[in-house]
Homo-oligomer: A and B are copies of this chain.
Amino acid sequence: MATIKDVAKSAGVSIATVSRVLNGSANVKQATRDAIQRTIQELNYMPNALARGLQKKQSKTIGVLFPDATSYYFAEIIRGINTCIQQAGYRIVVSSAHDAADEANVFLSLWKSQQVSGMIVMMPSTHNATIFNSTQRSIPLILLNTAITDGADITITIDNYQGAKEITKHLIEHGHQAIGFIHGAPNNHDSEERYRGYQDALNEGNLTRSSHLEFHGNFTENSGYRAVISLLNQSEKPTAIFAANDAMAIGAVEAARQLSLQVPQDIAIVGFDDISTARYINPPLTTMNVPVLEIGEMAGNHLIRLLEDNRQVVTREITVPVHLVVRESCGCPKEK
């Protein structure tokens, strides 16, 4: 593999000059520049990213850290990040963490080994706030959808609270009085915020909440299924259910069918996320749409700006609005 030395020798100049044309320095004669360019082509030379990174102290690589499970958001966010990152000459290294402890490890090792110039971390679990301490961190960090509002340069959070409130209100407008809630995984920030929204919507609608109307799931379809079985197996039955995500809502619909209940006539069910499956199930699921791709793009763009302009790092919190997608599972009439 050709090195800068080979190019220099072959072009009859010093490596410094080659380096200068590589980095677009102004002070090099056009003729020399051309000759070197030609040699580079001939030798098929490409600078060693490791050597360059070592010298310049930056790897042109950004780390993306995900919780293990979340395969739904995953692909789209990566795709969003990649679009902007790639054309700025950066690469993405992805890692996933099994649990909070693992997350800290991966984060630290990525950072301390200087493998990344910046990081985008998605961490909906509410533990672990301290790792991101900005006083000792030297690279820009963007936190996605996390409970932590401090320590990162930018946090991007979807508006779980408003979204949940809105969709719950929608159910209230349908006349429901007993609205159930299926929690997501414990200690999950998204789930907690959605719960807050749900509660406040009930309060503002003067409905009393009751723990009999709640079930603790874990975001999986199966837990949504179990939730409905359990909720409807008691005297105080909900007439509508808001599941903290679509997967659970889908499981809930399944369970309702199993119990020979019509959705939405006998029980209305809504979710959150607007995953691609949501519009295909029967009945099509009313849910809150989360602009996942855009979130990825936003994160990528902001990080690039932080990295390139290395301007004043202003801690900023961005809240991404979500929007209600009315389909049929809430009781609204079919579209066309």
Contacts and interface: CB of A to CB of B under 8 A. Distances in A.
A144 to B, nearest CB: 16
Contact of A76 (B71, B86, B93, B280): B71
Nearest to A78: B94
A74 interface: yes
A211 interface: no
B49 A51 contact: no
A52 to B, nearest CB: 8
A1 B137 CA distance: 10
Nearest to A253: B280
Contacts of A145: none
B75 A71 contact: yes
A276 interface: yes
Contacts of A94: 78, 82, 91-94
Interface in A53-83: 53-54, 59, 61, 71, 74-76, 78-79, 82
A48 interface: yes
A96 B113 contact: no
Contacts of A48: 54, 113-114
Contacts of A110: 91
A112 B250 contact: no
**Most B-side CB within 10 Å, residue of A110, A112, A282:** A112
A46 interface: yes
A44 B277 CA distance: 46
A12 to B, nearest CB: 23
Nearest to A283: B282
Contacts of A108: 46
Contacts of A49: 113-115
A46 B93 contact: no
Determine which residue in A50, A75, A109 has the highest number of CB atoms from chain B within 10 A of its CB, and name it: A50
A164 to B, nearest CB: 24
B61 A109 contact: no
A108 to B, nearest CB: 8
A205 interface: no
Contacts of A112: 1, 44-46
A44 B280 CA distance: 51
Interface in A85-134: 86, 91-96, 108-110, 112-115
A282 to B, nearest CB: 5
16 contacts: A44-B112, A47-B113, A50-B53, A50-B114, A50-B115, A74-B78, A82-B95, A82-B96, A91-B94, A91-B95, A91-B115, A92-B93, A93-B94, A94-B94, A281-B281, A282-B282
Given A46-B112, A49-B113, 12 more contacts: A1-B114, A50-B50, A50-B53, A50-B114, A54-B54, A61-B93, A74-B75, A75-B78, A91-B94, A92-B93, A94-B94, A282-B282
Interface of A: 1, 44-51, 53-54, 59, 61, 71, 74-76, 78-79, 82, 86, 91-96, 108-110, 112-115, 138, 250, 276-277, 280-282
